[in-house]
Amino acid sequence: MNKLCALFVYAVIAFGLTGCIMGGKATINPNYTSANPDLMRIGGEAPENKEPEIVNLGSYCLRVVDKWKTDGKTPDGQTIWSKDTFRKVIPCR
């Protein structure tokens, strides 16, 4: 019985090592994309900030300002750009 248990343990270890060795060769390349590139972009130079926009909502207006900022890096060193949107209530002209 002890020989059977030892054989089973060795088989599990061998199977595990084989999986680790084969798994290292079959790595999946990361895909850094965004479903909405207006909110997040990967790599390249900083996107341009557009001019502030005034939106008339009837009884009041909003001043909308979009600013791009660096939000870290991907594991392969590409810059992650994310957009912050700031809104402020202002009187309509």
Per-residue pLDDT of the chain (93 residues; tens, 9 = 90+): 677 777 777 777 877 666 665 555 556 776 777 777 788 888 888 888 889 999 999 889 999 999 999 988 888 888 999 999 999 999 987
CB proximity list for 42: less than 8 A, separation 6 or greater: 32, 33, 34, 74, 78, 79, 80, 81
Q: Tell me what pLDDT residue 1 has.
A: 64
